[in-house]
Amino acid sequence: MVLFRYPRPLPSEITPKEMYLSRRSLIGGAAAFGALTTAARAAALQTHPGPYSGGLTPTPHDDVTHYNNFYEFGMDKGDPAAHSQDFHPLPWTLEITGLVRKPVRLDIDQLLHSPAIEERIYRMRCVEAWSMVIPWDGIPLASLLKDADPDPRATYVAFESVLRPSEMPGQNEGLSGIQWPYVEGLRLDEAMNPLTLLALGIYGETLPNQNGAPIRLVVPWKYGFKGIKSIQRIRLLDHEPPTTWNRLASDEYGFYANVNPQVDHPRWSQATERVIGSHSLFGATRQPTLMFNGYGEQVADLYRGMDLRKNF
């Protein structure tokens, strides 16, 4: 049985973006990439605005880093920040193998110092019907896949997270029903879409542990559980790979997981979303959910002719 807990209320104390960025300017020069061993230690990234960097106001940093789903560290929203201090995201290597002509093995330091890192401010919609706006810093996945030179037989991309039960207490618990390590997948054309990002940071700094350090997937038109964290392996395949939540409850979590306000979760509506970081007289505000999370212009053609109720 899958145990599910609804989100608990947010803390009332929120760090404004301006204050966070001011703090970053003071510590950025002192931090070193090799010191990123806890969620509290972050280093500034050399990043530049990407093609999707305007028009959205980011969610406060304190919410982005303290309201998380990362079951490797626990099932409550505050558990990842509280229980990830002993996780060590450095050293780290990322492998791209499978149906490729040029297998890739990258040290994370190569990626963290890459001149290709750019900021992308994206909406993020959780399947639990809440949302954020997050300023990611990362590298388009397509550029790394092209370096690996995909074989013509490749049609899917499989992702695998790290398995470290000694550092990830949630991997030692059976309550979630999850088979570790966490795995995810995309069609190759989805992975090659310009929106798809391998994120290395948020707010111009390296990813905190609770947000998926040192590298995670960001696919902004899909529900957040597709954004696998702490990725170690990427493989190109000629068949659809298994994915963690689809394997756990296929009637609730489809392989595609495209944000669709017209297709409800079996246990709740997807027509609206609770906006994390917003405040009103009655708590967080709600807003209508957009088809493909507002990115239909960039991705709708990927699904032309598909039944999006069947392929949910």
Domains and CATH numbers, the chain: 46-303 (3.90.420.10)
Is there a binding annotation on residue 72?
yes
Is there a binding annotation on residue 211?
yes
Is there a binding annotation on residue 222?
no
Q: How confident is the model at residue 53 (pLDDT cuts 50, 70, 90)?
A: confident
CB atoms within 10 A of CB 265: 14
Residue 34 has pLDDT above 70, yes or no: no
**From CA 194, how far away is CA 306, in angstroms rounded?**
21
**From CA 71, how far away is CA 135, in angstroms rounded?**
22
pLDDT value for 72: 97
Is there a binding annotation on residue 227?
yes
Is there a binding annotation on residue 98?
no
Q: How confident is the model at residue 175 (pLDDT cuts 50, 70, 90)?
A: low
Residue 301 has pLDDT above 90, yes or no: yes
Q: Where are the alpha helices (DSSP H) in 28-161?
A: 61-64, 79-83, 108-112, 141-148
pLDDT value for 176: 76
pLDDT value for 177: 87
Q: What's the pLDDT tens digit per position in 237-287?
A: 999 999 999 999 999 999 999 999 999 999 999 999 999 999 877 777 999
- Percentage of the chain lying above the pLDDT 90 cut: 81
β-pairing verdict for 130-140 and 272-275: parallel
Bond preceding residue 91 cis, omega within 30 of 0: yes
- Distance of CA 150 to CAs 94, 105, 157, 160, 238, Å? 17, 15, 10, 18, 11
β-pairing verdict for 104-107 and 93-98: antiparallel
Is there a binding annotation on residue 258?
no
Residue 33 has pLDDT above 90, yes or no: no
DSSP bridge pairs for 281: none
pLDDT value for 282: 75
